[in-house]
Amino acid sequence: MAVRKLNKLRVVKRKCCGCGKVKPRDDMIKITYNKQLDSVQVEPDSFFIGRSAYICRNNGCFFEAFKKGKFYKILKCRQDDKLKEKIRAVLEK
C-alpha cells in the first residue's frame, strides 16, 4: 500500500484582473457579485459565493481594472460608482 506524503500546504493562486499577474489569494482583494441579491461584496478575506474577481493591493491595478469597464465585464454586473469607492476604501486601509 502506497503512503502519500504531503510536503507543503497547497497555496491557492488567483489572477489579478488589473495587471494579469498570478499571485497567492491571500495577497489580493476579492470582489464577489451575487446575482440573486444583486449586490457586490468587497472583502479581502471573504468566502462569499458568487462570481468573483481579484485585484492586487495597489492603486495601479485598481485603475487598470476599471479601465474600459474590464472589471464589470469579468463580474458581469452593471457599472456602479459606489463599487469603486468601496474598493478604494479597502485599498487605503
- Residue 93 pLDDT greater than 80, yes or no: no
Q: What are phi and psi of 63, to 5 degrees?
A: -70, -35
Distance CA(81)–CA(67), nearest Å, equals: 13
The candidate with the shortest Cα–Cα distance to 40, out of 68, 12, 81, is 81
The tens digit of pLDDT for each residue in 57-67 reads 888 888 888 88
Q: Which domains does the chain have, with CATH numbers?
A: 13-92 (3.30.1230.10)
Give me 39's grid cell: 449586490
The tens digit of pLDDT for each residue in 7-37 reads 567 888 999 999 999 999 888 999 998 888 8
Mean pLDDT, the chain, whole residue set? 84
Q: What is the DSSP string of 23-63?
A: EEGGGEEEEEEETTTTEEEEETT----SEEEEEESSHHHHH
